[in-house]
Amino acid sequence: MAVNFSVFEDFATVAGVRLGIAQSAVRYQNRDDMVIFELAEGAEVAGVFTQNAFCAAPVQIAREHLAVQSPRYLLINTGNANAGTGKQGFANARRSCELLAAATGVEASQILPFSTGVIGEPLNMAAFERGIPLALAQLGEDQWARAARGIMTTDTLPKGYSHCFELDGHEVTISGISKGAGMIKPNMATMLGFIATDAQIDKTVLEQWCKRLANASFNRITIDGDTSTNDSCILIATGQSALTITDADSPVAEMLFNELKIAFQLLAQAIVRDGEGATKFVTVEVIEAREQQEALDVAYTVAHSPLVKTAMFASDANWGRILAAVGRAGVANMELDKIQIWLDDVRIVEDGGRCDSYTEAAGAAIFKQSEFTVRIALGRGDVTETIWTTDLSHEYVTINADYRS
């Protein structure tokens, strides 16, 4: 069951984006499993992709196409990742682009393909022959909610965000969807994210922003420490609003960036809240680090520790596991007597040892909450990093043991 999570349904349309959804039976019958984004001519697109060495064929082709053309369509299927499928996988991914190109009159290089699902199985091309015409026939601006469901795999709930606001005297809209629940680790995760705004944003600025936004959101979440083969995050600026951004350092640009950051972070956090088997949503904050990497090393060592995660699941305030994880994070010349650790506002470690005021009852009360923060002060500098993670439950094992059933 998702942790403190409400399904978002009140999507605003983004001028310049139409979506079509189909039941194409890529893997399962009678479920939405193919989504097409149609982008207005002139829209700018930027992307961030998985860093897994075995990145899937559609990821490699999407990168290739994005480097040479302005995309007009995004083609997404669930049920099959088309990863670990060799030369035939590449041929199938290219063929899916060709099918959509032939149906829409654009070049195949103007299509970005995305796949998510089971790894190592051949892509069902008959599903694309069925699904593409069906999805195109249903293109509409108001299909965001159905599209959010159409990209789900082991997700229990669809994930979306939308916000309309005025900036510099102009109306601006941001809408987005994401998917993911397992195989979630930074450098993306088993996740897809598609965020669109009708603002006009210079392509260079958009590319810079997409990387910065991903690093503040989708690259700061982890559920199980596994990095997927198919992760992709796409930022679209259709240019249909009168708001124009050419200077990333302008006050208006900063305000728009912050609005986009809210969208990215909420969509990323929704993935954690819907993590496979999750019963806890946990923020791990590392402060007073000397540099960014050591802050992240500490945060992820804590967040990935099976012992820490199972203690969270059991509501067992076994704080020694957190301390041990900090100690093995690989921080050179760590000064142990400067380490401080809190659970929310309860200090558990002071000057490297158990805090005199700490009680087991106080720690247990925090661990029983469905949402809390582990804050770790290293006493080495002024760098802060934050990530979001979950506990590790019996249900996580069951879900992944039965994944292909």
* Nearest-angstrom CA–CA distance, 39 and 46: 13
Distance CA 59, CA 44 (A): 18
SS3 track for 333-371: CCCHHHCEEEECCEEEEECCEECCCCCHHHHHHHHCCCE
31 Cβ partners below 8 Å, 6+ apart? 23
The catalytic residue among 85, 190, 229, 301 is 190
- According to DSSP, residue 220 is labeled G
Angstrom distance (rounded) from CA 344 to CA 375: 7
Q: Roughly how many angstroms between the first and final C-alpha of the chain, as a whole number?
A: 20
Residue 234 structure tokens: 């796409």
Is 190 in the active site?
A: yes
- Residue appearing with tokens 């982008």: 39
Strands 340-343 and 281-289 come out as unpaired
Helix (H, G, I), strand (E, B) or coil at 308: helix
- Give the angle 280-215-222 at the CA atoms, nearest 5°: 25
Picking from 151, 182, 387, the residue whose alpha carbon sits closest to that of residue 281 is 387
Spatial contact of 91 and 60, defined as CB atoms under 8 Å apart = no
Active centre residues (catalytic): 190
